[in-house]
Amino acid sequence: MIIAQQKSIEDIAKTVEGCKKILLAGCAGCVTVCLAGGEKETEIMASALRIKSRLEEDPRTIVTYTATRQCDPEYIEAMAETVKDVDAIISLACGVGVQYLAERFPDKWVVPALNTKFIGGSTLHGIWEEKCGLCGDCVLHKTGGICPIIRCSKSILNGPCGGSQYGKCEVDPDTDCAWALIYDKMKALGKLDKMMEIQPVKDWSTSRDGGPRKAIREDVKID
Amino acid sequence: MNYLSKLQQILESGQFAVTAEIGPPKHTSVEAVRHHADIMKDYVDATNITDCQTAIVRISSIATGVHVKERGIEPIIQMTTRDRNRIAIQADLMGAYSLGLRNVLCLSGDHQKFGNHPTAKNVYDVDSIQLIQLLKQMRDEKKFFSGEEIKQDEPQFFLGAVVNPFADPFEFRVDRLEKKIEAGAQFIQTQCIFDMERFERFMEMVCQRGLDKRAHILAGVTPLKSWRAAKYMQSSVSGMIVPDKIIERLKAAEDPKAEGIKLCIEQINYIKEKIKGVHGVHIMAIAWEEIVPEIVKACGLYPRP
């Protein structure tokens, strides 16, 4: 899922300076699971903004709406009525949700409440880790199910580099070296011979380097 | 046989090679570079020119290499894959070749986090092993990285790689060396050796597999000026092992610099005489370039061929 984290209340408030009526739009998708922008977080942020406006004697009306998903036009349609008379929308969705709202409500000032960080999962309650580099050409079948594209700080395909020591990455002693993990996994699976194959230079055109990507499924497309 | 460089000629004629290192400056004056080149000139066969080492912005390795070459030393251009994509790497190296530079050392490079631009974006379009393979392809098959034909005058580099016997997993370090040789590495320089026992174990495995016959391995050494320098390398430089006894020895010394030089000479002599499969020494006298001639002489490696 997409992992996001809230910006500071000060930073969010700055983006809506001068707006008197503000909609806080939550999302019940990924950002609910990673505790950043679900219904609960939306209500808490609304309270914080209301308190701030009272303390600063800057009267503002804060309304809330949490969509099932902001990355789907049919789920944002339901907030159209609420949006009508607001000056700004603060979206607590990932960057996709913010853009869907900005596109659907072109005359409204739409701003993000979150920093969209990465795609990954939770390893412990309150800890999320990045797991996929979204390269568009999965190599996990070659690397024992561990992604070197994003989990190696150099994204190398023929690791581990000379900075791997005691199983950790040179960049951060708290980060596992992805290639040390891959080595251990391949060893355990009796597939160390795979580590001897030279992985060729990668085709990054399937990654973000090819510009914004599109996925098309002709079999399910409705024109 | 036509040799690609003097370094190749020395190594392939079976002589024990000596290389050193010159770090480009963080400003545009190359006076110190020229000075260091003049000092080392008669004592080394070639010098590495580092490529923004520890990710600190400096004069480029290629430009510095040209200055060094003008002073009469053959440079080994370090090329990291951190800052350039495959387009820039090929463009820069073809330029380097046109300027008369003949040795390239392929590395992935220190992560930008360690340098003076930690908020930079890194590239890593290719990794060090792929870089070796693709430069070999340029030379031997006259093809760009993409496979497109190079119509005339392809770059003909003598290709080097690095190996760090002190990184983990230890068993895989020999495998990875084999991958680099398989990719096309003709000479190999090692990380600074302080843990001689581990290096010996590493070289035993290298020789068992016959890798010393397929590429020329140059053992990396670094003369230490003080116990603090040793301690710093032990605790703050990733991929290094510095045994406590080295720190203790420098601490106990009346003249730590003299002791550091003595230690380095002992290491080189030991490597030369006792460790099989090593074809040369790479002296990384970091911020102490002037000491290289004294060490080379004391090890009986002077005059150079």
Which residue is associated with the tokens 């795609």? Answer: A119
Q: In this model, does residue B238 exceed pLDDT 90?
A: no
Percent of chain B with pLDDT over 70: 100
Q: pLDDT averaged over chain A?
A: 96
What pLDDT does A197 receive? Answer: 97
β-strands A114-124, A109-112 pairing: unpaired
What pLDDT does B28 receive? Answer: 98
* A155 at interface of B, judged by CB pairs closer than 8 A: yes
- DSSP letter for each residue of B118-161: TTSPP--SS-HHHHHHHHHHHHHH-B-TTS-B--S----PEEEE
Number of Cα atoms under 13 Å in the Cβ half of residue B269: 11
Higher-pLDDT residue of A63, A208: A63
Q: pLDDT averaged over chain B?
A: 97
What pLDDT does B274 receive? Answer: 97
Which pLDDT band holds residue A155 (cuts at 50, 70, 90)?
very high
Q: In this model, does residue A209 exceed pLDDT 80?
A: no
**What residues of chain A, 77 to 136, have a C-beta less than 8 Å from chain B?**
none
ipTM summary value: 0.95
Give me the residues paired with residue A27 across strands. A67
Residue B129 has its nearest CB partner, among A158, A171, A177, at: A158
DSSP-based three-state secondary structure for B252: helix
What pLDDT does B236 receive? Answer: 87
Contact B168 A167 (CB under 8 A): yes
Residue in B144, B153, B205, B211 with CA at minimum distance from that of residue B182: B211
* B168 at interface of A, judged by CB pairs closer than 8 A: yes
**What residues of chain A, 8 to 47, have a C-beta less than 8 Å from chain B?**
none
Residue in A139, A78, A9, A131 with CA at minimum distance from that of residue B127: A139
Contact B130 A196 (CB under 8 A): no
Q: Dig out the tokens for A172 from the structure.
A: 């951060």
Q: What is the mean pLDDT of residues A103-120?
A: 98
Measured CA to CA, the distance from residue B40 to residue A132 in angstroms comes to 48
Q: In this model, does residue A210 exceed pLDDT 90?
A: no
Residue type, B112: Q
What pLDDT does A211 receive? Answer: 83
CA distance A98 to chain B (A): 25
Q: pLDDT tens across B193-220, in order?
A: 999 999 999 999 999 999 999 999 999 9
What pLDDT does A165 receive? Answer: 94
What pLDDT does B30 receive? Answer: 98
Contact B167 A158 (CB under 8 A): no
Q: In this model, does residue B1 exceed pLDDT 80?
A: no
What pLDDT does B237 receive? Answer: 87
Measured CA to CA, the distance from residue B250 to residue B226 in angstroms comes to 6
Contact between A9 and A52 under an 8 Å Cβ cutoff? The reply is yes
Question: Which chain A residues are within 8 Å of B110, Cβ to Cβ?
Answer: 163, 170
Q: What is the mean pLDDT of residues B22-32?
A: 97
β-strands A172-176, A168-169 pairing: antiparallel
Residue B238 has its nearest CB partner, among A165, A183, A198, at: A165
Give me the residues paired with residue B161 across strands. B106, B188
Number of Cα atoms under 13 Å in the Cβ half of residue A29: 22
Interface A–B counts its CB contacts (< 8 A) at 90
CA distance B243 to chain A (A): 15
Q: In this model, does residue B42 exceed pLDDT 80?
A: yes
Percent of chain B with pLDDT over 90: 98
What pLDDT does B269 receive? Answer: 98
Which pLDDT band holds residue A223 (cuts at 50, 70, 90)?
confident
What pLDDT does B181 receive? Answer: 98
Question: Which chain A residues are within 8 Å of B145, Cβ to Cβ?
Answer: 201
Contact between A148 and A157 under an 8 Å Cβ cutoff? The reply is yes
Q: What is the mean pLDDT of residues B186-195?
A: 98
What pLDDT does B278 receive? Answer: 98
Contact B108 A164 (CB under 8 A): no
Q: What is the mean pLDDT of residues A13-34?
A: 97
